[in-house]
Amino acid sequence: MQKPTPAELEVVAAQLQRTPRDVHAVAHRCPCGEIDVVATPPRLADGTPFPTFYYATCPKLTGAISTLESSGLMGQMNERLQTDPDLSGAYQAAHLDYEAARDCVAKELNLDVPEIKGTTAGGMPDRVKCLHSLIAHSLAAGADVNPLGDEALAQLPQWWLSKPCSDINNLLDKS
């Protein structure tokens, strides 16, 4: 992961239509080249514990994920988690990967955040409650780390084809 430039933070602000909170690093770039997932420290500058390490920023990506969430997919995933021990084990491993990556940043920044120990995002490790978090994790960590994030990601349309996140002037005009 790399630190975002001031210009990239402007793009993220335009994507979110607000000032981003404490962006630590670029966690993933959209195929169009712009940031679509950021990494946030586990403790915000104001002292608030923040367990959501990977955060999707691209409005086309988050819109596509919201549509997928409304399809009933999360319910189906939750049912499978209860009956498929292999899936449950792989999802537990994804939870551990997420926590380990976040803990590395906490160590790098000399942060102690005991309030979020064992808590990650998206419902991990035992349920699915937010596909945004799971897909952001899949994009940031790469394939075969978060099985349910990968599954949801594979069901998304190619959100970048109209290149909404690479046209900063278009984004700034809407904010």
* Confidence (pLDDT) at 160: 84
Residue 152 has pLDDT above 50, yes or no: yes
pLDDT of residue 175: 46
What does the pLDDT average to over 93-110? 97
Q: Is the predicted pLDDT of residue 134 greater than 50, yes or no? A: yes
3 state SS for the chain: CECCCHHHHHHHHHHHCCCCCCCCEEEEECCCCCEEEEECCCECCCCCECCCCEEECCHHHHHHHHHHHCCCHHHHHHHHHHHCHHHHHHHHHHHHHHHHHHHHHHHHCCCCCHHHCCCCCCCCCCCCCCHHHHHHHHHHHCCCCCHHHHHHHHCCCCCCCCCHHHCHHHHHHHC
Structure confidence by residue, pLDDT tens digits, 37-81 = 999 999 999 999 999 999 999 999 999 999 999 999 999 999 999
Per-residue confidence (pLDDT) for residue 169, from 0 to 100: 52
* Average pLDDT value for the chain: 92
pLDDT tens per residue across span 109-122? 999 999 999 999 99
